[in-house]
Amino acid sequence: MIKLFNDKDECCGCGVCALSCPKQAITMRTTAEGFVYPEVENKKCVDCGLCVKQCPHGKSILNEPINCCAGSNRVHEQKIHSTSAGIFAAVATAFLEAGGLVCGASMTIKNGRAEVKHIMISSVNDLHKLQGSKYVKSDISEVIQKMDVALKDENKILFSGTPCQVAGIKSVYKKYADKLYTMDIVCHGVPSLKFFNDYLEYLQENEKKQVTDVCFRDKKQGWGHKGTVTFEENYKRNISRQNSSYYNFFFECEILRDSCYKCPYACTDRIGDLSIGDYWGAQKFNPELMIQNGGPFVSLEGISCILENTVSGTKLLELTKNRIEIRKIDIENVMVINTQLRTPAKYTSKRQQIFKVYIAEGYIGVEKQYRNWTRKKALVHTIKGLIPNKLKKQIKKAILG
């Protein structure tokens, strides 16, 4: 019998193995934590090995960036509706206007529950469906099949997603390399859709209203990590890592998929033709690029980092040159805060505790755990504040010897 992986951290859940199986012997199953994994049906499996051959995990060819740049979309309307500085929107617009198709993650909310999946668009009018971050795993199974038809019809496609999703797409469509362009994000890691929907259910029970929309990073609150949940009657609630259990655990890397903690793409060498992310710390590391110092960038509107990784990536930037402001920068500066360009997220015992509680008690248990930890943290902070600095130094000296 075919063995797809030895440990869960070797599977990113892209579903390529299931889609490549000629006997439909592989089904993607959801675990108690909410993550999907492939399961082989022995009676159908003929041991052809195609699933293992197509699996990209840890086998993909990565490219050293040709250039690292800071960038910003020149179209203000696109930029304010983007998470960072609207680089994806600029590249996608140019690609669509050149006659290509674009695939990216889209989120819809119906009856208070979210559906996050990749879709393919052919018009700039639909670009808004793909804009903005989605701090949750996106399903690419449907769009892979649609891409197959489009590529056979000689269409050029730009696919944007997490590095592991890009690796899966490139593995499936090796023979269409001249028509397939890819853009990966500097990925923080992905929680499960089930976990996220249970979080939304908790919010709805607490507010006694149904959720109608979620903006994971709301530019109206500035360039940062603050989001907005919209409920019925247009009631809005701002969420951040200070007041939201989901946000706090996400940014602390405590609710990610197992493979995120051993991600083979968490490095400077990249799988996509282009890589994009936030250029956190731009004001400190490249102050000359800020508008107040005569540069082109406004920090409140967001500043992106762009890694140009391949000849195809160069072509994408050339196609987009009239739509973005771009300046070369040192990749070392980008890596200071974008730690996923250096190393994967760290797996901790806290993650084990969160999912143990989640499986036993549901999201209400997770929320109670979050509040308990928050109270303890606040208490420790208060006690530390009461200790004179002189005494702190003496204690530190005693501990260190």
Handedness of CA 40, 44, 49, 55 (dihedral sign): negative
Residue 394 has pLDDT above 70, yes or no: no
CA 375 to chain centre: 29
187-204 mean pLDDT: 97
Q: Which helix (H) or strand (E) holds 373?
A: helix 363-386
Phi, psi of 313 (to 5 degrees): -65, -40
Give pLDDT tens digits for 112-148. Answer: 999 999 999 999 999 999 999 999 999 999 999 999 9
| Alpha-carbon distance values, 137 to 144, 211, 279, 303, 370 (Å) | 16, 19, 23, 24, 22
Report whether 320 contacts 294 (CB < 8 A).
no
User: Of the candidates 102, 97, 139, which has an alpha carbon nearest to the alpha carbon of residue 118?
Assistant: 139
Stretch among 157-166, 204-213, 359-368, 377-386 having the lowest mean pLDDT? 377-386
Question: What local confidence, expressed as pLDDT, does residue 81 receive?
Answer: 87
Query: Which residues neighbour 279 within 8 Å (Cβ) at sequence distance 6 or greater?
Result: 70, 84, 303, 304, 305, 329, 334
DSSP letter (8 states) at residue 266: -
- Burial of residue 174, with CB atoms counted within 10 A of its CB: 0-12 exposed, 13-18 middle, 19 or more buried: exposed
Predicted confidence (pLDDT) per residue in 25-56, tens digit: 999 999 999 999 999 999 999 999 999 999 99
Q: What is the pLDDT of residue 222?
A: 85
Mean of pLDDT over the chain: 93
| pLDDT of res. 396 | 66
pLDDT band at 247 (very low <50, low <70, confident <90, very high): very high
Residue 401 pLDDT greater than 60, yes or no? no
In this structure, are residues 159 and 166 in contact, taking their beta carbons and an 8 Å threshold? yes
* 198 pLDDT above the threshold of 70: yes
pLDDT band for position 59 (50/70/90)?
A: confident
pLDDT band at 397 (very low <50, low <70, confident <90, very high): low
Tally of helices (H runs) and strands (E runs) in the chain: 14, 13
Written as one string, the DSSP assignment of 131-160 is -S---S--B-HHHHHHHHHHHHTT--EEEE
End-to-end CA distance of the chain: 58
pLDDT, tens only, 346-375: 999 999 999 999 999 999 999 999 999 988
- pLDDT tens across 223-246, in order? 888 999 999 999 999 999 899 999
Q: Give pLDDT, residue 60.
A: 86
Q: Which residue blocks in 70-129 are alpha helix, DSSP H?
A: 76-80, 87-97
Q: What percent of the chain has pLDDT over 70?
A: 95
Asked if residues 89 and 127 have their Cβ atoms less than 8 Å apart, the reply is yes
pLDDT band at 2 (very low <50, low <70, confident <90, very high): confident
- State yes or no: pLDDT of 63 exceeds 80: yes
Which of 328, 186, 322 lies closest to 263, judged by CA? 186
Q: Which of 76, 57, 77, 79 is nearest to 170 (CA)?
A: 57
* Cα separation, 259 vs 246, whole angstroms: 19
Model confidence pLDDT, tens digit, residues 148-195: 999 999 999 999 999 999 999 999 999 999 999 999 999 999 999 999
Closest to 214 in 3D by CA, of 239, 189, 193, 194: 239
- The residues near 135 (Cβ < 8 Å, ≥ 6 apart) are 188, 190, 191, 196, 216, 247, 250
Structure tokens at 117: 């999946």
* Nearest residue to 105 via CA among 151, 157, 140, 56: 140
What's the pLDDT score for residue 321?
Answer: 94
Task: Determine what percent of the chain is predicted with pLDDT higher than 90.
Answer: 85
Q: Among 1-5, 93-97, 321-325, 394-398, whose mean pLDDT is lowest?
A: 394-398
Give yes or no for a contact between 158 and 102, defined as CB atoms under 8 angstroms apart. yes
What one-character-per-residue DSSP string does 183-228 give?
A: EEE-------HHHHHHHHHHHHHHHTS-EEEEESS-GGG-SSS-EE
